[in-house]
Structure 1
Amino acid sequence: MSKRVLLAGATGVIGRELVPMLRGRGHRVTALVRDPSRAAGLAVDDIVVADALDAPAVRSAVLSARPQVVVHQLTALRVSTGEGMETTARLRIEGTTNLVRAAVRAGARRIVAQSIAFATAPRGGGVLTEDAPLFFDAPDPGWSRTVRAVAELEHTVLGTHDITGLVLRYGSLYGPGTLYHPDGAIGAAVGRGRFPLPESAAGVTSFLHVADAASAAVAAVESEIGGVFNVSDDEPAEAATWVPAYARMLGAPPPRTVPVMLIERMSGWLTGYQLTAMRGAANGYAKRVLGWRPRTPSWRTGLEVASLGP
């Protein structure tokens, strides 16, 4: 059944994949954008303009769109900086509150929101389910702030009366416009042989192609259920596996191995944590309940295709 969908984040890497998927399924899509010029060429049915951090503007925009479903794909991570992470935290807290309140007032029946699957605490097995605790006590203040913002987003989306909330915890995104694309920050570093690997590279990453992230959002829009779902590919991989494999795909030299104690100083806390201690995400619940399947089930295929270029 066709639905009126308001998409916040339509100009982002997932949003640009999601728009044609939704319209191809017969849904009417209104894009909520802060800068209308960024929506040039975006094949949506309508555009409304508001800064997600401006509550009155969001309320007016959502009321004018009268959506049945609101999809929240807002981040500010085009540039991987502390400022981008701070703004994203505000979008996850204040922006989510503004969208949910406006959605309820506009009579929307459900809200679908983007979260992350790698905010879990590094305890237990290498691959965790949705009920694993989050990493609130992370030693890095920036990451602790990110985890708290994710938790608040999920609480707001799932705990608001009069609307059904569904949270998609995405794995580490790769594809056009992401850090892992060959011209992205991580892809370029691996390609130049400047992405060192700690001696104990046991951190697990669950990857996800941006097109699969978008297809999960379509499944969420068309579902009637709520809850939290990990959305990732079928092959969680330790850093000792995926980093050398990606280097080979790019025709790059093998990554330089360095002592674990140096990796944070060389690459920053978050990258060091990803390579040494991060846990992966099990995707079985999304498969069983949402009926979603990744079209690119292994990062090996997706990253290799990306590395070959157009």
Structure 2
Amino acid sequence: MSVRVLVAGTTGVLGRALLPVLRERGHDVVPLGVDLLDRAAVLAAVRSAAPDVVVHQASALRHPDALTRTARLRAEGTATLLETGIRLVAHSIAFATAPAGAAVLDEDAALYLDAPDPGWAATTAAVAALEASTLAASGTVLRLGVLHGPGTQYAADGAIGAALARGRYRQPADAHGVTSFVHVLDAAWATVLAVEAVVPGLFNITDDSPAVGAEWLPGLAALLGGPPPRTIPADMAERLLGWFPTYQLTRLRGASNDRARQALGWKPRFPDWRSASPPR
């Protein structure tokens, strides 16, 4: 059944993937053309569009203060969208969980609210606010894995992909952190299913192959034609790479996609980070 979908966040890599799929499925798609942090403008735009469902995937990753701005979009922007009373499908992140317990976690795992990095602590606090408010309103939250594919940091022309191809990325000696990736097209397809299924709840949208840093980092470098990353001592990693890359490669937990498979009928067409194209 066709529905009218208002999408907040249409110009980024995921927006460019999502809109064509929604339209191919016969849905009437309306981009939100106002600043999500302008409450009055958002409420007026939603009233004018009169959608059946709102998709919130807005971020500000190219903003000079990307973490702070994205946190506001997740917390304040979500609250404004929920004021409208329209059913919400909101994007969250599967890699905001605390680094405790099993190597691969489900949706019941605690978020990393006490992260030692202030930027990441603010990010997880905003994620918690988005998830709690959306779930309280019987909405759907999709916790996306680390995006890969065209337009992402891990593509050949992305920041990390280009650095790996040129031999300019470093690997900590203790690269045992687990990353769960998801291809942008798989993330888009999961969003379409959430729009259509009307299943409230919290779902990890990740591929089938959580991978440790010592596996995927040199593996991706090889796929991109680059040399193996040079190994650096663990105690030098944060200074050379930054807090989050070091955390991702050494302590991050992966995320299970079992709940999304069962409740949404979704499964990834790109089974792991190596996948350049879906299987035939």
Alignment of 1:188-203 (within 5 A): 188-203=162-177
- Aligned runs of 1:37-56 on 2, under 5 Å? 50-56=34-40
Pairs within 5 Å for 1:110-149: 110-149=87-126
Correspondence for 1:47? none
For structure 2, the residue ranges without an aligned partner over 5 or more in a row are none
TM-superposed deviation, 1:185:
1.0
> What is the alpha-carbon distance in structure 2 between the residues aligned to residue 91 and residue 177 of structure 1?
21
DSSP-derived class of the 1:7 partner: strand
Match of residue 186 from structure 2? 212
Moved >3 Å (runs of 4+): none
Q: Does the residue aligned with 2:11 lie in a helix, a strand or coil?
A: coil
Give the partner amino acid of 1:130.
Answer: E
Q: Deviations over 1:38-70 (max 9, x none)?
A: xxxxxxxxxxxx110010000000000000100
Q: Secondary structure at the match of 2:274?
A: helix
1:92 corresponds to:
74
Match of 1:7 in 2: 7
1:290 has 2:264 as partner: yes
Query: Which of residues 125, 128, 133 is equivalent to 1:151?
Result: 128
State whether structure 2 residue 47 is matched by structure 1 residue 63: yes
Aligned counterparts of 1:286 and 1:18: Cα–Cα separation in 2: 18
What TM-score does the superposition give when structure 2 sets the normalisation length? Answer: 0.97
d(CA) in 2 for partners of 1:181 and 1:76?
19
Superposed CA offset, 1:101-134 (max 9, x none): 12x1xxx3x2100000000000011100000011
In 1, Cα distance between equivalents of 2:16 and 2:49: 19
Give CA-to-partner distance per residue, 1:191-227, whole Å, 9 cap, x none. 1111111111100000111000000000000012101
Q: CA shift at 1:78, angstroms?
A: 3.1
> In structure 2, what residue type is equivalent to 1:142?
G
**Matched residue, 1:43:** none
Q: Which runs of 5+ in 1 are unaligned?
A: 34-49, 306-310
Deviations 1:78-110 (A, max 9, x none): 36x6x01110001001111111112x1xxx3x2
Identical aligned residues as a percent: 57
Please say if 1:260 is aligned against 2:234. Answer: yes
State how far apart, in whole Å, the 2-side matches of 1:250 and 1:24 are.
Answer: 32
Does residue 230 (structure 1) correspond to residue 212 (structure 2)? The answer is no
Structure 1 counterpart SS, 2:55: strand
Residues in 1 aligned to 2:83 and 2:118: alpha-carbon distance in whole angstroms: 29
Helix, strand or coil at the partner of 1:300 = coil
Query: Taking structure 1 as the reference length, what is the TM-score of the superposition?
Result: 0.88
